[in-house]
Amino acid sequence: MSAESISTDGESSALLELLTCTQQDGSRTHGDCSAESARKMPSSYRWFDTKALEWIEQNFGPGIHVLDVGPGMGKYETYLQRSVVLDAVEPDTSYIIKFELNTRYAKVFNTTIQSFIFEHECYGNHYDLVIMGDVLEHLKVETAQRVVKYFVGKETALLVQVPFLYKQDHVKKDDFEKHLQEDLTAIVMHHRYPDLVPLKKDDVIGVYVWMP
Rg (CA), the chain: 16
Q: What is the pLDDT of residue 45?
A: 54
Q: What is the pLDDT of residue 172?
A: 64
Q: What is the pLDDT of residue 181?
A: 74
Q: Which regions of 3-84 does DSSP assign to beta strands (E)? A: 20-22, 28-30, 65-69
pTM, two decimals, is 0.77
Q: Write the CB contacts of 12 (distance below 8 Å, at least 6 apart in sequence).
A: 3, 4, 5, 6
Q: What is the pLDDT of residue 105?
A: 96
The number of folded domains in the chain is 1
Residue 142, domain extent? 3-210
Q: What is the pLDDT of residue 171?
A: 62
* Ranges in the chain, pLDDT < 50: 1-43
- CATH number for the domain including 180? 3.40.50.150
* Whether the Cβ atoms of residue 208 and residue 52 lie closer than 8 Å to each other: no
Q: Where are the alpha helices (H) located in 47-163, listed in sequence order?
A: 49-59, 75-80, 93-98, 101-104, 113-118, 141-153
